Structure 1
Amino acid sequence: AAMRQAITENTVMMVGSAPSYPHGIIDPLTDLAEIAAKKGIWMHVDACVGGLELPFVEKLGYPIPTFDFRIPGVCSISADIHKYGFTPKGASVILYRNPELRQYQIFAYADWPGGVYATPNVSGSRPGGPIASAWATIKYLGLEGYMKLVQKSMDATKRMIEGIQAIPELYVLGKPLATVFAIGSDVLNVFALGEKMKEFRWYIDSQHLPPCLHMTVSPIHATIVEPFLADLRAAVKEVAKLKPEDITGEAAMYGMIGSMPDRAMAKDFAVQYMNDLYRVH
């Protein structure tokens, strides 16, 4: 309903996630595509996280909602193959329902003195190495390889979520169906929890809106679920003893930025932070 109400005469595209990066939730893509089709709007599925995982999750028999071109109205799908495709960074994928839609991506200029110039997109020349290495990785792993890797990831995720949900102070946001999820708390400062986990040599991304810790589970995590959960339980006990004035450093800074009512000010803060990092002394 919110997306339908947000559509105006200036709307050129609707986007749904499969799944969303912050919380691992798959959007109601069939409903969104139906709205887009009725309005004559391009419907894009952002499967940058799940594009190389969800097909195998589905093949393994897990209940996954339809997320691809089987949904009428979906025009394009993007997927980052360096994530669950396990390829080197530098190559990605965008798929179109048909060539007629793909043509709008192509850049062509016929009046350049150097000759007719055409590229797949506006980026122009790009290195072929990452594309070749990505292709080699995908061919090497094959269907069987991806099925095994995804099964390991799903098993590890299940054990991890069950362990987190057994900690009274914590919960998992929403109902993630694959291997990305977020940890929240109504009684602890999760940013302080993330900082405490660093002392145990676990590095977890902090997120806000709402405050939570981001988890991306891969096959390599299958061997460390129990040690991670043991340290998480210990960290929860220590953070529970903290008073608000005890929370300092990055935890305090991230909490301050996340709670700023003026989001433009929060953006300015981030820009200034990056400027300071790249300043030449």
Structure 2
Amino acid sequence: MSEFRNEVKANGAKPGKKQGNKPGKKAYEKQLALLHIELVKLQEWVVRTGAKICIVFEGRDGAGKGGVIKALTERVNPRIFRVVALPAPTDREKTQMYFQRYLHHLPAAGEVVVFDRSWYSRAGVERVMGFCTEAEVQMFMLATPLVERTFIDSGLILIKYWLEVGPEEQTRRLEARIHDERKIWKLSPMDLESYRRWYDYSRARDAMFTMTDTEYSPWYVAKADNKKRTRLNVISHLLSKIPYEAFPRKKISLPQRQKAEGYRESDHHFRYVPEKF
């Protein structure tokens, strides 16, 4: 990790820098590439050591969770870095113990699981929208620190992020979803209602932090008004919280390709994709 820190510093990356002007495209891509290299090293460490890592992403609608998760996972093996984004619970799941549907998705040895929203839906959307009772919320608040302590005591590395976007920036992003045909799928009736209930969500967030921000399982809040900085800051912070090591690699070279030994290209009439571009 020390080599990574020095390299990032030399190339101008400042993981703790305050939100401000967007980094230029080239600077952003250069810094992100360095972080991707470290994530590949982390991946190898996870596989070799059998580590179990669980990363939780929560935050306001429009805060950019999807963009952070994409930047985090786009250069690693999806069989090792698994993204879990559960739909609304089924009728059967509603009758289960609350944490039951999430336990199945926790990582085994050699895996990293990234939750795009998690069990904390009970403290957020379910509470604000009235999908559960207040008694169920209070039971969740009391149980969660104990459940997470059990996760951690079993050897799980649990890291929780809350992405916080300001009201003006949230407005800009949600309006962009309305007017951009590529983004309209991101805008649901629930997003509109959460936008209207800004302060209800603020109160729910504050109560959640009060009960579940513990010394052994803390929340890390990322200011998310600047998407590029947020991605760099979160990935850099994540790497700093995991004690991974880089393993020496054997030098790789391509083997000599076999000889044709009489092979000829098939005369089958292939249906090629039209080259329109």
Give the TM-score taking structure 1 as reference length: 0.23
Structure 2 length normalisation: TM-score?
A: 0.24
